[in-house]
Structure 1
């Protein structure tokens, strides 16, 4: 689905069909476009294998002479109709993942495959009856993929599993500790959620659109997810690619059907608390109490097949550290470190350690990566500026000597495009000559089409100002504690934040939108203060900032994809707008179905939404300080915060040795995810990794070709079952059987009670 975006709900890049992907740092902002976020290795660029390069070369040769439709012809009614259908169903998948563990793999492969399959089937049917008028092109396929990613992206960045849900009384009361003050709680309703997203989701689209030429053509940022998505779409529209896509779709639908049927079967045995296959004590009852068990979830087996091995093993390691060692030790201090009378969900009790230590690890990793990406971006910008200065200095020296290089004269006379030796020097000094040879006709063709349909600068600036003004007026009506001047300050600094995030995403393929959102929680929560409703204000400001920063980097990813598929920037821009509009309505509606059908956000429920409590915990720290922490919790938080920073620093240092050892060091964000939730989903994901490993050992080419489709089908089948399950719950239809697992002693007591 879109880019690999952050701590909290995390998006991870899948293994591409034709491109090999290394480990990807987890994080919310990573809802990688595509997050293909999502979604490069630990901040490494996506590196195509030699086989993939051959495929790409063949694809470009096949498409070189293809006529490119105008931007209006790329925006077809069938493209938006298909996008609406796919976006609706994939939003259920994203929402279910968002409300369970928060690990959201990119479904770009699914979006691209399904879009290609549905429209190609439709055009083939019309062609048979002689009614086909408009052929299906890579540009139209790009429009579908962009629109779907934008739609499902709102299900992620809309905060339904994080900042929006954290505002609810349900989450506030479940955390205990006096956190449910009326001024810091806002009851959720479908109307104001749709209105809020409409107010804040479009502003980011206009924040960086004027820099598209600079980012894509001048800086030539790679945006690995956008690049991989483009090559995937281009490959579909060759004869061999179409046949391969058809085979992948067949595998996707088979795994989808199996996953959906398995979900139906499991439902019949869940007629009570802790019933069904999801409560099977795989490793014994004691391990089950510590959250170590296999819950038979097709979703997270599929996620494990998509996520890199390092991510899955890091999550398992985090489970062992937290639920195997740390939490049992803290529980042994009950009555000493915290009152034994407090309920398990109270922040001044055991829950406080789980929430705030998890926050410390997340913030430690997020802060380190924030400064790392920022430093990487600044170094790259400085390198480009130095190259330009050196070029201008050498050019000035040549002019002073009145010497025109013979190589330049030869190039100018033989190359109608005017590619001089000096231009070659400039590109070489920018490190671009190896990727973009001077005079490359395909590259020139891309630049021509990318610059053909301009988006007027005056329009983008005026729209940003106008939408910001509307938001400054409208958002305070929804959140009175967040004043108009708070929002104005956000929109004044947001373009700078958006540029930093988009630039860093272009280099590392990692969006840090959630880091900017957490920063906004602290800043605006402290500004408003505890007595002024700082918790609610901070969470709302987080939503404003995250939506701007996230959509800006997503749009640049789309521009990169469109640049490589020859799709017009205008068609990309309008498809992003259309997808965002769809998401602002579909996302809240899908969330509302879950929210009204299940106890979403309550610890121990089927949809605990763990990051809602994490975000609310961050807001509480921001306005109340460390007074909310139980005894010794601050020391433990500091130790884990520094530990996260140190592990990241070690990984970066080892990475610079260029020996590849950093891939064997654990990923900090992946380790943090099970600290709050438990180990059950990591068991599922590791099983997915094992299946993929054995498949690759048996037939690597077959696994590379079909594993992403099989995994996507497993995720989609189980995820879409959430719709009929929610409808059954709303209709008060309960499963007929409760399958529960008891110890022998407990079973004897039950038998005695029943016979007595």
Structure 2
């Protein structure tokens, strides 16, 4: 949400600029979005959309659950996992941003949007993929800038109002959330319905056409082929939407197998990357040739769990890997001077002390909140979190995809070899996911700041402040939602929570229904082949985009079709749109924000008993 945060911050501060005693420049806008993203990402970092509801509602008594975690403990846990990823990532800035100049497409796109909103010259912000124009661009006049700002603000406000109105209408008329567009029979018995959520459409716009089509393919295979097959063969005799005996609970194993194989192959490529880079560098030095290093695996057109860390395909697609390199240039062989004075950088002393203290805080909070988790397991999980966060940062910088779900699943797989305890497995995976999430968030923000010459030290402080605020707010709002609504329930199905528990049971060899093991092995092999083909076999080929992405297919297969269809509509809008890309992102942001704000109003109405029609 870095781009929407930048938009909202710009609109608010510009609205009240006459009453401010200081200017609101691009650097202030960078700081605003840094704090906002830190607050908004805490529900993901602390696991309030996944591991926490899994521990509280889905864990069996034989597995040490279900747990009930008090609000003070939720806050302590959130703060415990909020900082160590930030402290660990800050020293990586010099290597991956200043020296290697990894693109971090969302961070670059955010910098571009901020520059456009403030009327700054964007010609030198990023290198264009096209040949440089011989005609100099005319800087926007004050009148042009004011007109552009007003039109974008009106579009954002209009999309916000439409989305909020629909969300409030769906509260009073709940049938709007499940429209039987394919007939009542398919909607009732096979779950083929449409939830025309404006936020889902907006997310589909930001994900892009390729990702949403891959998700749609997963929905067709999972719910159009595998679900009837499992039902017909008696492998899933219960109702289709039953997680225990229905085809919904059977499909999840196939989906998880694809996710695991994709994660292992992709992260394996990142592990091998330094070795491949060194070999290529030696070959270039040996034969005196030029040429640039090519990544072993490429990706970035899949979103995490359908919505996390979107690639901003429309805007950022033109910003991927566009910075030209000089002949014989190897970024690993030269020393880049510091881009800012030391007073604007985070000192090594601060990093070392902060990492040590934040590590102790993580271990202490985990031990206090989950006393049955052994201390050695927590130490191993913390160490793995630091190592895997490096992979997350590099993947994010290269592909705009922070594979936090894959990182957590890989940790769960490793911990299944250490201990078969499901509770320990879940907590260990949560620690790894939190570290990678926080490291990726701050690195995207630092890329935006690097391009706009903002102070990394100020952004670092903003991230810490936002994380503390987000930890408190997220814990309170999570408990408010679970008090007012049944979780999991029809409205809040928390599919990611099921992914966590089912993955822990899968890697421990438990809970597989009849026929699921064979189907999961076939799906894992197909997912691995697709990932290898996209990352290596078809690299540079025009056929690469036709090979489905593993994570996107698995997400479309895992979630009910109504989750995917609206996003596919958004992907269709992104394909159809021929205008300015920034305008499309603003439209999508308004749709997402309108439903988000209106859902809080719906929560308030539900808590006081306002009836549905």
Q: TM-score range by the shorter chain?
A: 0.7 to 0.9
Report SS of the residue matched to 1:628: coil
Distance in 1, Cα, partners of 2:167 & 2:226: 34
**Alignment match of 1:552 (pick from 439, 443, 456):** 439
Matched, 1:486 2:486: no
Matched, 1:155 2:52: no
Query: Match for residue 526 of structure 2?
Result: 643
Matched, 1:302 2:185: no
CA contact (8 A) 1:376 1:504 kept: no
Distance in 1, Cα, partners of 2:362 & 2:178: 46
Distance in 2, Cα, partners of 1:221 & 1:232: 19
Matched, 1:620 2:508: no
How far the C-alpha of 1:428 sits from its partner, in A, is: 3.8
Query: Match for residue 202 of structure 1?
Result: 83
Distance in 2, Cα, partners of 1:250 & 1:689: 23
Matched, 1:217 2:98: yes
**Alignment match of 1:678 (pick from 541, 546, 560):** 560
Query: Match for residue 12 of structure 2?
Result: 118
Report SS of the residue matched to 2:164: helix
Query: Match for residue 519 of structure 1?
Result: 410
Distance in 1, Cα, partners of 2:243 & 2:570: 35
Matched, 1:509 2:396: no
How far the C-alpha of 1:143 sits from its partner, in A, is: 0.3
Distance in 2, Cα, partners of 1:584 & 1:200: 9
Query: Match for residue 110 of structure 2?
Result: 229
CA contact (8 A) 2:408 2:430 kept: yes
Tell me how large the CA RMSD over aligned residues is: 2.8
Report SS of the residue matched to 1:721: helix
Distance in 1, Cα, partners of 2:281 & 2:107: 22
CA contact (8 A) 2:78 2:471 kept: yes
CA contact (8 A) 2:227 2:240 kept: no
How far the C-alpha of 1:354 sits from its partner, in A, is: 2.1
CA contact (8 A) 2:36 2:466 kept: yes
Distance in 2, Cα, partners of 1:449 & 1:492: 31
Distance verdict in 2 for CA 1:484–1:261, change over 3 Å: same
Distance verdict in 2 for CA 1:365–1:372, change over 3 Å: same
Deviations 1:224-267 (A, max 9, x none): 22222222212222245564233212101111111111222232
How far the C-alpha of 1:588 sits from its partner, in A, is: 1.9
Query: Match for residue 456 of structure 2?
Result: 569
Distance verdict in 2 for CA 1:490–1:213, change over 3 Å: same
How far the C-alpha of 1:376 sits from its partner, in A, is: 3.6
Distance in 1, Cα, partners of 2:342 & 2:285: 22
Distance verdict in 2 for CA 1:363–1:608, change over 3 Å: same
Distance verdict in 2 for CA 1:572–1:379, change over 3 Å: farther
Report SS of the residue matched to 1:228: helix
**Alignment match of 1:701 (pick from 579, 591, 604):** 579
How far the C-alpha of 1:691 sits from its partner, in A, is: 3.8
Query: Match for residue 265 of structure 1?
Result: 169
Distance verdict in 2 for CA 1:378–1:513, change over 3 Å: farther
How far the C-alpha of 1:615 sits from its partner, in A, is: 0.7
Distance in 2, Cα, partners of 1:376 & 1:143: 33
Distance in 2, Cα, partners of 1:597 & 1:352: 26
Distance in 1, Cα, partners of 2:177 & 2:11: 34
CA contact (8 A) 2:197 2:566 kept: yes
Q: Pairwise mapping of residues 5-44 of structure 1 onto structure 2 (< 5 A)?
A: none
Report SS of the residue matched to 2:199: helix
Stretches of structure 2 that go unaligned for 5 or more consecutive residues are 120-141, 289-324
Query: Match for residue 29 of structure 2?
Result: 141
**Alignment match of 2:611 (pick from 734, 738, 742):** 734
How far the C-alpha of 1:676 sits from its partner, in A, is: 2.9
Query: Match for residue 467 of structure 2?
Result: 580
Larger Rg belongs to = 1
CA contact (8 A) 2:481 2:603 kept: yes
Matched, 1:690 2:572: yes
Report SS of the residue matched to 2:101: coil
Distance in 1, Cα, partners of 2:71 & 2:346: 34
Distance verdict in 2 for CA 1:691–1:537, change over 3 Å: same
Distance in 1, Cα, partners of 2:268 & 2:103: 20
Report SS of the residue matched to 1:489: helix
Report SS of the residue matched to 1:578: helix
**Alignment match of 1:322 (pick from 191, 214, 222):** 222
Query: Match for residue 599 of structure 1?
Result: 486
Distance verdict in 2 for CA 1:388–1:545, change over 3 Å: farther
**Alignment match of 1:166 (pick from 48, 54, 61):** 54
Query: Match for residue 476 of structure 1?
Result: 367
**Alignment match of 1:189 (pick from 70, 78, 82):** 70
Stretches of structure 1 that go unaligned for 5 or more consecutive residues are 2-107, 127-131, 173-178, 271-275, 392-425, 738-756
Distance verdict in 2 for CA 1:507–1:676, change over 3 Å: closer
CA contact (8 A) 1:236 1:242 kept: no
**Alignment match of 2:548 (pick from 656, 663, 666):** 666
Query: Match for residue 355 of structure 1?
Result: 252
How far the C-alpha of 1:490 sits from its partner, in A, is: 2.9
Report SS of the residue matched to 2:372: coil
CA contact (8 A) 1:521 1:538 kept: yes
Distance in 1, Cα, partners of 2:254 & 2:408: 19
Distance in 1, Cα, partners of 2:339 & 2:499: 47
Higher RCO structure (Cα 8 Å, ≥6 apart): 2
CA contact (8 A) 2:253 2:506 kept: no
Distance verdict in 2 for CA 1:121–1:655, change over 3 Å: farther
How far the C-alpha of 1:115 sits from its partner, in A, is: 0.6
Distance verdict in 2 for CA 1:385–1:509, change over 3 Å: farther
Deviations 1:643-700 (A, max 9, x none): 11112222234542x2432123322222212323221232222323334444x3xxx2
CA contact (8 A) 1:481 1:528 kept: no
Query: Match for residue 611 of structure 1?
Result: 496
Distance verdict in 2 for CA 1:686–1:183, change over 3 Å: closer
Distance verdict in 2 for CA 1:350–1:228, change over 3 Å: closer
- Larger displacement relative to structure 2 (365-374 or 719-728): 365-374
Deviations 1:693-735 (A, max 9, x none): 44x3xxx235x34222122111221222211111122212221
- Larger displacement relative to structure 2 (302-311 or 447-456): 447-456
Matched, 1:332 2:232: yes
Distance in 2, Cα, partners of 1:208 & 1:390: 36
